[in-house]
A = this chain, B = another copy of it.
Amino acid sequence: MKLTTKGRYAVTAMLDLALNNDKGPVTLADIADRQGISLSYLEQLFSRLRKKQLVTSVRGPGGGYSLAGEPSEVHIAEVITAVDEKVDAMRCGGKSNCHNNERCLTHDLWRDLSNRIYDYLSDVTLQDLVERKGVPEMAANSDDPKVKLGNVRSTASDPLAVLNQ
């Protein structure tokens, strides 16, 4: 699973589907219009979403795509992994080929971060987004006050975007 605009497009499109779920199938042309995503690109994304059975399709006039399940059961992490190719983890992927100590240390770091991100995205469903219940609390790792955040953040010249693009 990667975090790119590709995944964000997919989530946006799925959210569009969730919001119009009651009105029958939604055409990609509509989504392209509303969300400003190229129709052909959406076709690529939905091809994968369909293969992963996150959406169902109906052909012909009046057809389109619908969510395969309830919005409350579609987790964001699923959507993102559906459109992103598998990546063989992190170079020294789980294997014991990180022979020297240093690489293993950073490896642990990335893996833990990766797990956290995945957990976070697994915890949010389309329904959450629809209800703008938003996202779980910012979690503020207050249980480990070894570093007080905020000062560090203020050195970053900008409201940061960890995610690509």
Given contacts A2-B164, A12-B102, contact A158 B113 (CB under 8 A): no
Q: Contact check, B129 vs A116: say whether CB atoms are below 8 A apart.
A: no
Given contacts A3-B162, A129-B109, A159-B89, contact A152 B115 (CB under 8 A): no
List residues of A whose CB falls within 8 A of some B CB.
Answer: 1-5, 8, 11-12, 15-16, 19, 34-35, 75-78, 81, 86-91, 93-94, 100-103, 105-106, 108-110, 112-125, 128-130, 132, 134-141, 143-144, 146-147, 149, 152-153, 155-165
Residue of B nearest to A125 (CB): B147
State the oligomeric state as a number of copies: 2
A11 to chain B: closest CB distance in Å?
A: 5
Residue of B nearest to A76 (CB): B109
Q: List 8 A-B contacts (CB under 8 A).
A: A2-B162, A19-B101, A34-B102, A88-B161, A115-B162, A117-B117, A118-B160, A136-B143
Given contacts A106-B129, A122-B153, contact A94 B35 (CB under 8 A): no
